[in-house]
Structure 1
Amino acid sequence: MSMWFKRVDIGEIEKAKRALPHYFSILKGDEEPNFFQAKKVSVEFDEGASLEELWQLHKKGMELLREGEFKENPEKSLLDLKVIIANKILEKCELCEIKCGVNRKESIGYCRVRESLIASDFLHLGEEPELVPSYTIFFSGCNFRCVFCQNWDISQQRVGVHYSPEEVGIKIGVAYARGAKNVNFVGGEPTPNLPFILDVLRHVKVPIPVLWNSNMYMSEEAMELLDGVVDVYLGDFKWGNDKCAIKNSKAPRYWETVTRNFLLAKDHYKAELLIRHLVIPNHLECCTRPILRWIGENLGRDVRVNVMFQYHPDYRARGEKELNRTLNYEEMLKAAEFVKEFGFKNTMVG
């Protein structure tokens, strides 16, 4: 077996520490999670103001955050403002790049989400070694239609339990007390649930890092709201071109959207990146190679990347000729060679 294949050992933790210093500083207690600091930025606003006016105040609030202008227990905070803006966006939803425009306070959007439903939540031990145990919250609904989705039973259906933001805030506190290293918002897809998640964080009292476990198909407006809240973007980079993305995930403008969002995330307040790429059969040259090349050239060779071999033909993939099998050894070896070719330093492979 190639030395480039993934080994879960102390070496992986050392790679993670090099790539994710802010995250590890939070774990040590040397830094606060970003949402704690967003709570300390005082912003005066009128909830009845126009969205344009609120965005202007948000811009000023983000400037105060970056300047370190904090106040303990302000009457209204930057995080409170983010909640108000996110809920106004719901009235004509543009949280993801589909921009279906549905009033999601009254109807189900393209993502199949109206009110946020939690399909499951637990201490996850199957994530990257630096993340476990991870308190993982699975929301139902998704803005993609991946033909091989392993979570299709929650991503393509409305299932789960509706909790109040206060209740989920308490659950996060309990998970932290049980040893959770982070809170991991996933799905489905967390993006349609952004207003709810921001509201949840208003009620979290423990200094737990926030992971945004996403397909990275958010709108620019959603990315602005995430700035100053997310500690680690656990971003999925699936497709190396729009043709594959449309065919297999029904995601128009995929390459433009996802590359834009990774570049935005790179510049977000204290945010770090952990990028997952699931290697897909017959998509090495069209997807794996261009994705890894782009990451290396635009995000750097020190970024934490997990090149994954866990593809399985779930959901409707058995009916797709090019997707109806697992990876073969030659494909695994080629993916590992790409990692070496592009000079990544903190990558997991396997």
Structure 2
Amino acid sequence: MWRGRFYRYEPGRARKALPRYFSILAGEVEPIFFNARKVAVSFSEDAPLDDLWSAHAEGMDRLEDNDLTEVPEKSLLDLKAFIANRILESCTLCEIKCRVDRRKSIGYCRVRESLVASDFLHYGEEPELVPSYTVFFSGCNFRCVFCQNWDISQYRVGIEHPPEFMALKIEEAFRRGARNVNFVGGEPTPNLPFILETLRHVTVPIPVVWNSNMYMSEETMRLLDGVVDVYLADFKWGNNVCAKKYSGVSRYWEVVTRNFLLARKHLGAEFLIRHLVIPGHLECCTRPILKWIAENLGKDVRVNVMFQYRPEYRADRHPEINRELKEDEMQKASEMVEKLGFRNALVG
């Protein structure tokens, strides 16, 4: 049977993989966006984007040096939010880079203004995250044929909240016991300007979880540095052919592995990487993904190899994935995790 020692949740493993996250929960350190808000920067709203990026680089240097000011006139977090909003004029937040003026029109992601489809204390995430205040945005830059959230990822649904009100909702969730704020979708990337604007107003020390397909542009990765505490990162495909066929995206492997390597360098950031095992895709996807993680991110990284696949949405158009996993596929995936030597993995 595939249910072995990696399947059970052991708090010590989670703490070993996510030490800073647990330090935030214990009140020993603050979430990283708190520090970004204490970094003084100088910028003009009329400045060219290149000049704003130069100011951003200087601010990041101050953040790394822990050069903080309690209440700066303009902060690094302010600058990040301003740059993100400027990018909307010709949107390149994700690697699709549709360059739509999203202040006026809907992008490839089906997002113009950020719409919150639902938000609640979620108890179905990994044990170390729950209860997680999960903010589900509508819209996505992927077109996964088996999407379990297709009703929000592929349609414009939800409520438009002012950032100040969203910040109040986060603070209320924190008072109700939320261990983190978990930005998800759909996909959070098209909603980065709204998220950064919201965090400017959040006053409680809540960790930020970025629950993403990791298909962001390099510009977005720069803006996330100094904001995200935990990348709850989805690593779907082990090659570009499968990614194009089932998720409709090009250069998947190059983009996502690049972003994992960039995120590894982000100040204070940690990983919890999810891989949903797809029927018939163990050799082409599961094995190369797990091998790459072990070789590039290490065997102590928190990995969740998930067996929850079910054929939803348009999976019936692809007979090869229009089924649930077989017992031997679960067994084989579990053996891959063990043979690669992951020390802090969840499987099941």
Identify whether the pair has TM-score above 0.5, normalized to the shorter chain: yes
Runs of at least 4 residues of structure 1 off by over 2 A?
1-9
Q: Equivalents in 1 of 2:3, 2:313: separation in Å?
A: 32
2:1 is the counterpart of 1:4: no
In structure 1, give the amino acid aligned to 2:2: S
Tell me the equivalent position of 2:87.
89
Q: Equivalents in 2 of 1:177, 1:3: separation in Å?
A: 36
Q: Equivalents in 1 of 2:265, 2:242: separation in Å?
A: 28
Over residues 271-308 of structure 1, what are the superposed CA-to-partner deviations in whole Å (9 max), with x where a residue is unaligned? 00110000000000000000000000000000000000
Q: Equivalents in 2 of 1:310, 1:3: separation in Å?
A: 14
8 Å contact kept, 1:5–1:336:
no
Tell me the equivalent position of 1:134.
132
Tell me the equivalent position of 1:251.
249
SS, match of residue 171 in structure 2: helix
- Of 145, 148, 164, the residue aligned with 2:146 is 148
2:257 is the counterpart of 1:267: no
Q: Equivalents in 2 of 1:322, 1:200: separation in Å?
A: 42
Tell me the equivalent position of 2:167.
169
Instruction: Kindly report which structure 2 residues correspond to 1:1-350, keeping only aligned pairs within 5 A, or say none.
Output: 1-4=1-4, 7-9=7-9, 11=10, 13-350=11-348
Q: Equivalents in 1 of 2:5, 2:275: separation in Å?
A: 14
Q: Equivalents in 2 of 1:235, 1:5: separation in Å?
A: 23
In structure 2, give the amino acid aligned to 1:68: N
Q: Provide the alpha-carbon RMSD of the alignment.
A: 0.8
Over residues 306-335 of structure 1, what are the superposed CA-to-partner deviations in whole Å (9 max), with x where a residue is unaligned? 000000000000221111000000000000
Identical pairs, percent: 68
Over residues 204-225 of structure 1, what are the superposed CA-to-partner deviations in whole Å (9 max), with x where a residue is unaligned? 0000000000000000000000
Deviation at 1:341, TM superposition (A): 1.3
In structure 1, give the amino acid aligned to 2:4: W
More divergent stretch after superposition (319-328 vs 145-154): 319-328
In structure 2, give the amino acid aligned to 1:90: L
8 Å contact kept, 2:2–2:330:
no
SS, match of residue 320 in structure 2: coil
Q: Equivalents in 2 of 1:15, 1:5: separation in Å?
A: 12
8 Å contact kept, 1:66–1:269:
yes
With the length of structure 1 as denominator, give the TM-score of the two structures.
0.98
8 Å contact kept, 2:211–2:231:
yes
SS, match of residue 319 in structure 2: coil
Q: Equivalents in 1 of 2:49, 2:218: separation in Å?
A: 15
In structure 1, give the amino acid aligned to 2:283: E
With the length of structure 2 as denominator, give the TM-score of the two structures.
0.99
Over residues 82-117 of structure 1, what are the superposed CA-to-partner deviations in whole Å (9 max), with x where a residue is unaligned? 011000100000000000000000000000000000
SS, match of residue 322 in structure 1: helix
8 Å contact kept, 1:8–1:129:
no
Q: Would you say how many aligned residue pairs link Structure 1 and Structure 2?
A: 348
Q: Equivalents in 1 of 2:2, 2:74: separation in Å?
A: 55
For the structure 1 residues 5 and 281, does the alpha-carbon distance in structure 2 shift closer, same or farther, using more than 3 Å as the test? farther
